[in-house]
Structure formats: structure tokens, C-alpha cells
Amino acid sequence: MLALAVVALAVPAYGLAQPPRILTATDAVIIDLPPLPGATSSAAVAINDHGQVAGTSDSASGFPHAVIWDHGTVTDLGILPGGTQSFATAINNRGQVVGFGDTASGQQHAFRWENGTMTDLGALEEGGSGVARTINDRGQVVGEGETAATGTTHATIWQDGSVIDLGAGVAFSNNERNQVVGYTNAARGAILWDRGITTGLGTILGGGFSLATDINNRTQIVGWSDTAFNTSRAFLWEDGTLTDIGTFGGDAGFSIANAINDRGQVVGVASTTTPGHNHAFLWERGTLRDLGTLPGGTSSEAVAINRRGQVAGSSDSTTGGSAFLWENGTMTDLRITGLGGLQSLNDRGEVVGQHTTSSGETHGALWTTRPPSR
């Protein structure tokens, strides 16, 4: 068991002098998520169901710092002892933020931040490194770490004050039942870790490798497997059975599943019959639906889906490219970019990413249909 080092940081919260700047004046608004004082750029990567946003900002020191935006206030989460920089990767509904930062030893360690305190979650072993990818509402953190001796990446869980090594691989996602999915070399692909038991999920269509990307609270798992056709194919795993989600372009096509909600709806990207044109999909109860692209676009990808069935992703278009929100057959151009993945979308239908300001700076952005509080 690794002893956790808890570091109490004197971290200021910077309140904006004015309410967040509204960049559009339609039914929906884009709220600017500014960088820390003295800096010019920021990036939003995750949002919880209370509208709190985690991300990273340049700082006055010139090094990036993990931050949280909470209804108009940006807070510097600080750095680990002896370090110079930190990066946020996820936030849960308790306002706990996880990520990684450098340390005095030069190694990268995972951290958890809560109520002004950054906790060093450490690494798999002395001299190793760690990166936290996500955290559930019970405080279980998953990610990966490198061993000191060989530099091999291992799937890792930080839970109840201990560090659990799942073997060579990466842990990508967890649910509220503390079940974890990812992949390990030992299982030759996708795994489910549940109360100390590791289950290999197998492959489909003659493949030799698979990877699990997300799990819901019903223990339905999605990801992708390679195939005998030398392509990747999205799958749904449930109760020991792998289901091929398919493509829009036949057996020679490819698909990847990125996320699943508690209704069993799956989103990702699949190839079409037109070479180079890949489209976002929504799969439900055996039906694969093409979500299309923004006007003039040729390719799109869905990265997140919430409990309401709203889908967030990105698409190219005649104006370049943008994030989108798809709902009930309609794809809306959000005019923001840089979605961070599963946690870019919350259950209120709010999406976070980046945008370019009128002065040419890159800032975090929150797209919402809820007007900002004054």
C-alpha cells in the first residue's frame, strides 16, 4: 500500500469583475472560460452535472496549471510539491478533480483535488509515474502508470488509499459500481475489472486484440476489436456476449465505439461507402444510425452521450470544423472545438471545449442553453 501525500495548497479563487462574456445571442450561448490572471490561453476538458468545468490554463509563471471554473470563477488548483505544472483530466459530481503533474523527482504523478487541497496519488512504485484519466462519484480514480524498472505502462486504480496494478495496459473508464474497463497485455485486449476479478472480453470477427473504452452502470461495455479484415470494429459486451455494432461500409469498413449511457445507447464513428468519409453513429437495440455531418462536411465523430440521449462530437464543415450536439435527428453547430472526450458533455446538455476570442486567444468555452447567472 502506498502512503498518500496530502498537500494543502494556498490556492486563490479569482472572481471575474464582470459576468462571463456571452459570445452568441441566440437561444444558446457560448460562455468564455478565461485563463488565470496574467495568462492568455486555457482549455476546458470536462464538465459535471452541476456545471463545474475542469481544464488547464497557462499561468503567470509560464507553466500550465490545472483549473476549475465554477459559475464565473476560475480557481488555480496548484501543483504538486517541487513541481512546475499540472493538468486536469476529469471532474465528478462532488467537484473532485483529477489529473497529473510533475514532481520534485522529475516524475509525473496522478493527483486528486478537492476543496483547495491537492493530493498526490503517487505512482505504482518508487521512481515510477502515474496519470489519472477519470474519477467516479465514489472517488475511485483510474488511469495508468509507468514502472520505474522497465518503463512499461500499467493499468492503474487508486482506491481507498491504495494503488492497484491491473498489469501492463491502460484503464480508460469506470462506473458508479467501481467496475473498471480498459485493456491489458495479459488478457490480450479488453478487460473488465470487478472487485479484484479481471475478465477478458475477447475479440470479434477473427481479431487478436481488443480495447474497452467505456462502461455504464448496467455493466454494458463498449470498445473496439481488430478483425480478420485488418480493420477495427465497434462492439458491445454484455453478460459475456460480444455484439458486432457494424459499419456503414460493409465488412471491409471500420467502426469504433467511444461511449455508452445507462440506456444502452452507444456512440462512436464508422466508415461509409465513400472512402475517407467517416460518420458519427448512434447504435441502439441493434440499429446503427448515421448522424451525418455539419453542412458541407464529409466526416464526423461522436465522443459522448448523456442520459437524455444527447450526443456530442465533432464534424468538419464548409466553415472548417466544430463541435456538435445531436438530439432527435438534429445536429447543432456549437461553434466551439477541442472536445476532451466522455466528459465533454453533461446530463444538462452542456458541452465544453475551446474557442478563439476576437483578439485571437484560445480560451476554454462552455456551450449551454442556460443563461449565465448575473
pLDDT in tens, the chain (374 residues): 333 333 333 333 333 333 334 344 357 899 999 999 999 999 999 999 999 999 999 999 999 999 999 987 999 999 999 999 999 999 999 999 999 999 998 899 999 999 999 999 988 888 889 999 999 999 999 999 998 888 899 999 999 989 999 999 999 999 999 999 999 988 789 999 999 999 999 999 999 999 999 999 999 999 999 999 899 999 999 999 999 999 998 778 999 999 999 999 999 999 999 999 999 999 999 999 999 999 999 999 999 999 999 999 999 999 899 999 999 999 999 999 999 899 999 999 999 999 999 999 999 999 999 766 54
C-alpha cell at 16: 471575474
Question: What is the identity of the amino acid at 307?
Answer: R
User: What per-residue confidence (pLDDT) applies to 252?
Assistant: 80
What is the spatial distance between Cα 352 and Cα 312, in angstroms, rounded to a whole number?
Answer: 10
Residue pair 156/174 in contact (Cβ under 8 Å)? The answer is no
Question: What is the identity of the amino acid at 11?
Answer: V
What is the spatial distance between Cα 54 and Cα 321, in angstroms, rounded to a whole number?
Answer: 23
pTM confidence score: 0.92
Burial 297-330 (b: 16+ CB within 10 A, else e): bebbbbbbbbeeebbbbbbebeeebbbbbbeeee
Residues 6+ positions from 286 with CB-CB distance below 8 Å: none
Expressed in angstroms, the distance from the first to the final Cα of the chain is 47
What is the residue whose three cell numbers read 459499419? 247
**17 vs 4, 57, 263, 277, 369, CA distance in Å?**
38, 18, 42, 46, 23
**Can you say whether the dihedral through the CA atoms of 98, 99, 102, 105 is positive or negative?**
positive
Alpha-carbon dihedral 220, 202, 131, 31, rounded to 10 degrees:
-40
What is the spatial distance between Cα 37 and Cα 112, in angstroms, rounded to a whole number?
Answer: 23
Cα angle: 153, vertex 56, 154; to 5 degrees = 10
Residue pair 357/34 in contact (Cβ under 8 Å)? The answer is no
C-alpha cell at 59: 499561468
Residue 15, Cβ density class (10 Å: 0-12 exposed, 13-18 middle, ≥19 buried): exposed
What is the spatial distance between Cα 251 and Cα 228, in angstroms, rounded to a whole number?
Answer: 10
**302 vs 138, 323, 342, CA distance in Å?**
27, 9, 10
3-state class of 213 per DSSP?
A: strand
Residue pair 301/278 in contact (Cβ under 8 Å)? The answer is yes
Residue pair 132/123 in contact (Cβ under 8 Å)? The answer is no
What is the spatial distance between Cα 361 and Cα 366, in angstroms, rounded to a whole number?
Answer: 16
What is the spatial distance between Cα 310 and Cα 330, in angstroms, rounded to a whole number?
Answer: 10
User: What per-residue confidence (pLDDT) applies to 225?
Assistant: 97
User: What per-residue confidence (pLDDT) applies to 23?
Assistant: 41
Residues 6+ positions from 215 with CB-CB distance below 8 Å: 173, 174, 175, 179, 180, 181, 192, 221, 222, 260
